[in-house]
Amino acid sequence: MANEDLLRTLQETRQKVVAERSRQLQILSQRQQTLDTAKVNLRGAQDREREAVRADEEMKAKIKDTGAVRGPLYRPQAEQTHLRRSEFAELARSCQAEFVQSETRLAAIQSDLERTEKDLAELDAQIRQLRGS
């Protein structure tokens, strides 16, 4: 009788662990999608930042090449390219932070899932052992 009660308790616990594993798998999938999106966003931001840096450097060279006479004519454009460079650099930093955070959150759920899988394997072993005795 005691073995039957223990077996029932182990099976109920196993059901709860299986439900938790299912929940974790859903979270894992969501976090993987979030990471994939963050990676795409980061690449796009880095590309835009590189383009803004290139445009700003070209404008600086243009001002330098034109000298003191025509250089001031390009100042508004130079300010605009510099501003865009700064904005895209900030966007790239923000996307990098989002990417790192997504990686961290994914690693955390993967770790949780590994522990749950281990718990499930231990429960299964205990159930098999109890049924065999």
The model's pLDDT over 4-40, given as tens digits with 9 standing for 90+, comes to 899 999 999 999 999 999 999 999 999 999 999 999 9
The pair of structure tokens assigned to 47 is 């590309």
Query: What's the number of domains the chain is made of?
Result: 1
The pair of structure tokens assigned to 1 is 């009788």
Which pLDDT score, from 0 to 100, does residue 25 have? Answer: 98
101 and 16 in contact (C-beta within 8 Å)?
Answer: no
**pTM, whole model, 2 decimals?**
0.80
Rg of the chain, C-alpha, whole Å:
29
Please identify every stretch of the chain with a pLDDT value under 50, giving residue numbers as ranges. none
Which pLDDT score, from 0 to 100, does residue 71 have? Answer: 61
| SS3 assignment for the chain | CHHHHHHHHHHHHHHHHHHHHHHHHHHHHHHHHHHHHHHHHHHHHHHHHHHHHHHHHHHHHHHHHHHHHHHHHHHHHHHHHHHHHHHHHHHHHHHHHHHHHHHHHHHHHHHHHHHHHHHHHHHHHHHHHHHHC
**Cβ neighbours around 12 below 10 Å, total:** 10
Which pLDDT score, from 0 to 100, does residue 70 have? Answer: 65
Which pLDDT score, from 0 to 100, does residue 63 have? Answer: 80
> What type of residue sits at position 49?
E
Where residue 42 sits, what CATH number does that domain have? 1.10.287.2610
Which pLDDT score, from 0 to 100, does residue 89 have? Answer: 97
Give residue 9's domain range. 2-132
Which pLDDT score, from 0 to 100, does residue 66 have? Answer: 78
